[in-house]
Amino acid sequence: MKVYISADLEGISGMVSWDQMKEDTPEYTKAVELMLKEVNAAVEGAVKGGASEVLVNDSHGYMRNLPIEGLHPKANLISGFIKPLSMVQGAEGADLAFFIGYHAGVGTRASICDHSYSSGSVFRLSINGKDFSETAINAAVCGHFGVPVGLVTGDQETVNQARVILPGVLTVATKVGITRFAASCRHPLEVRKEIEEKAQAALIKFKEEGFQPFLVETPVTMEITFMQTAKADVAELLPGTERLDGRTLIYRGKDILEVYRALQALLFLARSVS
């Protein structure tokens, strides 16, 4: 039984601002320690639930946040950047996925650091006509590999959004957003306890009744509205894109995997200008 964990930072209890997530600051050192402990709680729950293998994918920013010497000894770690499958690198071959420390999609009110893949570039992101958060698109890539998502943790809006698209998923709300940069945070000890319990419960549920992988219809149409026209100007250099208006383009792919890889390329292009 292999459990895959994609770990982000914004949804960890205590995180309320980008300032806490800037590398080489005292706040960042504390932030990754809090992230590590929520990840380790998920690993511990998975191991108690019978996981023989746990793979953690560091999925925030430049993706080398988690200090490996503090990681739960039963887990392995994917660290570093660039990864073709980004936040879901390594999901293929797992039995069950957990999303830890996730955040809500761009435009969500009262949700910490709401964004979809790039706070500076993406105004809106949709797949097959529906707004997709990182939870949704990452769950769809996991679904492409036949891997269901059993646990999502993050702020209240994040888990609300997860429950809509992933029926039966277990969730842990780490905090309740007040605005984009303020939240009522639960105590980390309580959050970790619940993450461990829910992780273990997810494995039991997986064995007893299973979870449905999240699948999107193929072919897949992705529509991205960028923050500025210049970003769309460079993004449309990628063959296969179609410009709809000043800031919006669409990309059609045979499946979510192809679209996900195109998304990574489009974001690299978009980040090159402002």
Instruction: Compare residues 9 and 249 and give the one whose CB is closer to Zn ion.
Output: 9
Tokens of 193: 């306890």
Instruction: Compare residues 157 and 258 and give the one whose CB is closer to Zn ion.
Output: 157
CB of 9 to Zn ion, least distance (A): 5
Contact 270, 234 (CB under 8 A): yes
Instruction: Compare residues 86 and 200 and give the one whose CB is closer to Zn ion.
Output: 86
d(CA 257, CA 62): 21
Instruction: Compare residues 9 and 55 and give the one whose CB is closer to Zn ion.
Output: 9
- Interface positions with Zn ion (CB under 5 A): 8-10, 60
CB of 11 to Zn ion, least distance (A): 8
Catalytic residue among 72, 103, 115, 144: 115
CB of 10 to Zn ion, least distance (A): 5
Contact 220, 143 (CB under 8 A): no
Pick left, alpha or beta for residue 7 (phi over 0 → left; psi -120 to 50 → alpha; otherwise beta): beta
Active site residue 115: yes
Contact 223, 69 (CB under 8 A): no
170-173 β-sheet, strand order = 75-78, 53-58, 2-7, 96-102, 149-154, 170-173
CB of 8 to Zn ion, least distance (A): 4
- Tell me the residue number closest to Zn ion, measured at CB: 60
Hey, which residues are catalytic here?
115
